């Protein structure tokens, strides 16, 4: 089963300082029929204006993944972690028993474009963790590059869930294949360009919610950038 949701079907919130596309029920957008896809609870596509951001706020018992596409995002939390996430960098924050953090556009003159992903953990009450890693453009060209896993894939950031996140940049005409175990779900988002998944076309901003497909064949119909989650 492959369900394609077009970019314009996403819930859009424009607050001036923040333009956000919420793929699942979030904040004041409440839809009991659109709460999650397997262990994936939140997928937000955000653009934050220069010098703006989210003030200190709490999280608990959630694995929060941030992937910066353009610009720079500044992070601070009450665990003493500070840093700036640049394009191509991924951050994982495991909220565990509780964490306060803030996120701001580090630039005073350029917007920051990011994806924020929340994954429900296997275990509640863990000690909070934070990690960040840069992945080179050359490493994701023409391949499915794992950037987040349950800790079982070398070179990835770890989350407390049997989930893997891949990123890829495919030149037009290039194909890649992803194989998954029975009973798994997948979530595909087109960051840029256009592609097909098992023949179904997707353009920039489109998403596909996938279940019971043991093999995914992705082919770029334009130069394409994508993110794929393999989920329980």
- Please state the domain extents for the chain: 2-231
Residue 55 has pLDDT above 90, yes or no: no
Considering the chain, what percentage of its residues have pLDDT values greater than 90? Answer: 83
pLDDT digits (tens, 9 = 90+) for 105-144: 988 899 999 999 999 999 999 999 989 999 988 999 999 9
What pLDDT, on a 0 to 100 scale, did the predictor assign at position 204?
A: 98
Q: Which residues, in sequence order, are CB contacts of 59 under 8 Å at separation 6+?
A: 93, 95, 98, 99, 101
Quick: pLDDT tens for 183-213.
Answer: 999 999 999 999 999 999 999 999 999 999 9
Partners of 188 in the beta sheet?
208, 228
The pLDDT value recorded for residue 111 is 97
User: Is CATH 3.40.190.10 correct for 2-231?
Assistant: no
User: Where are any strands of DSSP class E within 78-184?
Assistant: 82-85, 89-94, 99-105, 112-119, 129-134, 145-149, 157-158, 164-170, 175-179
pTM: 0.95
Tens-place pLDDT, residues 62-117: 999 999 999 999 888 777 777 899 999 999 999 889 888 788 898 889 999 999 99
Whether 2 shows a pLDDT value over 80: the answer reads: yes
């Amino acid at each position: 089963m492959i369900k394609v949701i077009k970019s314009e079907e996403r819930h859009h919130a424009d607050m001036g300082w923040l333009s956000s596309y919420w793929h699942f029920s979030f904040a004041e957008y409440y839809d009991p029929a659109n709460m999650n896809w397997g262990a994936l609870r939140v997928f937000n596509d955000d653009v934050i204006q220069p010098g703006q951001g989210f003030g200190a706020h709490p999280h608990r018992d959630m694995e929060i993944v941030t992937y910066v596409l353009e610009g720079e995002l500044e992070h601070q939390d009450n665990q003493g972690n500070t840093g700036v996430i640049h394009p191509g960098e991924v951050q994982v924050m495991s909220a565990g028993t509780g964490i306060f953090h803030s996120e701001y556009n580090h630039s005073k003159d350029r917007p920051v474009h990011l994806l924020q992903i929340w994954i429900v953990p296997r275990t509640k009450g863990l000690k909070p963790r934070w990690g960040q890693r840069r992945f080179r453009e050359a490493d994701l060209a023409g391949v499915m590059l794992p950037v987040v896993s349950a800790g079982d894939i070398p070179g990835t950031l770890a989350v407390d869930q049997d989930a893997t996140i891949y990123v890829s940049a495919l030149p037009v005409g290039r194909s890649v294949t992803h194989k998954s175990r029975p009973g798994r779900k997948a979530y595909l988002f087109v960051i840029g360009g256009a592609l097909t998944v098992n023949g179904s076309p997707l353009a920039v901003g489109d998403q596909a919610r996938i279940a019971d497909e043991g093999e995914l064949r992705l082919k770029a119909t334009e130069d394409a950038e994508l993110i794929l989650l393999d989920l329980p």
